[in-house]
Structure 1
Amino acid sequence: MRRIVAILIVALAFPTFPVSATEDPFEFYIDSEVVVHPGETVQFRIAWHNIVGTERHFSVQLNESDTNLSIDGLPTDWTRVASGRLGETTINVSVLPNSNYETISFSLDIECQEVPEWKDTHSIDVL
């Protein structure tokens, strides 16, 4: 009996770390830069993987953008992804014709409908 009590005391002394599958419901694969010349439009790929055991929904919004950029084709509604599934979409990134050749940027906010406190922000440099 003393051994069991000693084992319980030792086990309680170890710190516990909360682990939850809802902390990162998705993995997103987004390039950190894209080359777009003034007056040009380029397709930009956004890929994802639902890494939890249940269906999830996500949305992508433009967080901030340079005034010389135009971002079109972002999904307007939640995107449904079944458990373990992969997917991708493309958006159009355009640079205004009168822009200088410089590095400018935009960022995307990604949110999960089932985990409201989860947000993933990706910054993309446009070269």
Structure 2
Amino acid sequence: MEICPVNAITRENGSIQVNEQTCIGCKLCGIACPFGAIHPSGTSIAGVAGTMVSTPTFPKSLSPLLQWEIGVYTCAVKCDLCSYDPEGGPHCVPACPTNALTYVVDEGLSEQVKDRRIEAAVNQGAVQAALSELRKEAQQ
């Protein structure tokens, strides 16, 4: 991705990959991502022990992209299908309380898209025919 000053984000085999060892945490990718799929993350100095005592985040801001934490190395993070189950997909899909997430497999997808387009065209034709009938009735 051209936005990354150290080329930590690359496109490989049709997917976006983040090299966390190269990432400098500048957050430009998070700002530029049109899907809001990349966000900064890091482990505080206290690490896991820091979950008991929170380290303050400065400055308080409306955007998490503008926040920082003292001593925390920030790195770009995006979905990489962690905890992937071959039968059920990523674990976040069944765990989503609102069923907002779905896992889509490319196989057969183009056929589904074709079927939906045909259905939409047929429905559009039916709507156009109904409108024509209404216009004829209104003119009489």
Taking structure 2 as the reference length, what is the TM-score of the superposition? Answer: 0.18
Structure number having the greater helix percentage:
2
